[in-house]
């Protein structure tokens, strides 16, 4: 049955077989329910890869375990993502949400900017696209985050909705501001009522507010598929 996403005031109603979710129903809970209820639905596509919602959630769990169990990330820490908008950065963001940590995206930025943000945010580590290297602070490639299973049971927060977990650039103030996923969800735009099989195409950087609230988060909440273009490696 096709799903529809409606916005009404500050509440979100996600309609599927009579199921109603409010804004207090967290993004992570919704993604977990997707994995259980229709895990074979496609979450995102790359030219060389297909990720179902079951695998999407499994990768969030794997990333959470590695971030905390092997890389020492705990609630309140900041992690920098440096790259060109790889879809696995969404996994990184969701894993940090589970841990109560923050993501500072540095998409299409040079090395000097990343180093400046490391110092400004006092980040725990840098996670970067595979084509890049970073040696000025603890750093790991995005692929190593998900390379294999980490047998660690992380301490996760109970409700991530109100935790400021993502730094977004405010172009008016020319500054970065940490926002909660609840704040983003309250600003969501409804997806067009199109066929469930039609993908939402995402090109370029991921962590822009308008792209998140108009396309990426509505698609994930509604169990739709995201299609990412072939990613051009960032030249450091």
Percent above pLDDT 90 for the chain: 68
d(CA 216, CA 3): 16
pLDDT at 21 over 60: no
d(CA 45, CA 52): 9
pLDDT in tens, 44-98: 888 778 999 999 999 999 999 999 999 999 999 999 999 999 999 999 999 999 9
Angle at the Cα of 64 from the Cα atoms of 236 and 88, rounded to 5 degrees: 40
96 assigned to some structural domain: yes
Tokens coding 3: 């799903």
65 assigned to some structural domain: yes
- CATH code where residue 71 lies: 3.40.50.12780
235 assigned to some structural domain: no
pLDDT of residue 235: 65
Confidence (pTM): 0.88
Name the domain count of the chain: 1
233 assigned to some structural domain: no
Range of the domain at 111: 4-228
pLDDT of residue 106: 96
236 assigned to some structural domain: no
């Amino acid at each position: 049955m096709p799903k529809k996403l409606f916005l009404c005031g500050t509440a979100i109603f996600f309609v599927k077989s009579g199921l109603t979710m409010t804004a207090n129903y967290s993004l992570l809970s919704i993604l977990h329910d997707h994995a259980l209820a229709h895990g074979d639905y496609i979450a995102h596509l790359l030219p060389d890869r297909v990720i179902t919602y079951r695998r999407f959630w499994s990768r969030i769990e794997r990333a959470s375990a590695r971030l905390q169990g092997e890389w020492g990330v705990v609630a309140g820490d900041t992690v920098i993502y440096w790259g060109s908008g790889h879809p696995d950065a969404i996994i990184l963001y969701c894993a940090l949400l589970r841990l109560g940590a923050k993501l500072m995206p540095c998409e299409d930025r040079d090395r000097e900017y990343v180093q400046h943000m490391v110092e400004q945010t006092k980040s725990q580590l840098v996670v970067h696209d595979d084509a890049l290297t970073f040696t000025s602070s603890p750093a790991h490639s995005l692929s190593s985050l998900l390379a294999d299973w980490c047998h660690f049971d992380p301490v996760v927060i109970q409700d991530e909705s109100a935790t400021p977990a993502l730094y977004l650039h405010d172009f008016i103030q020319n500054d970065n501001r940490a926002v909660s996923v609840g704040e983003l969800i309250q600003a969501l735009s409804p997806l067009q009522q199109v066929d469930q099989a039609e993908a939402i195409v995402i090109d370029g950087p991921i962590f822009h507010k308008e792209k998140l609230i108009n396309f990426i988060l509505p698609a994930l909440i509604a169990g739709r598929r995201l299609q990412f273009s072939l990613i051009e490696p960032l030249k450091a």
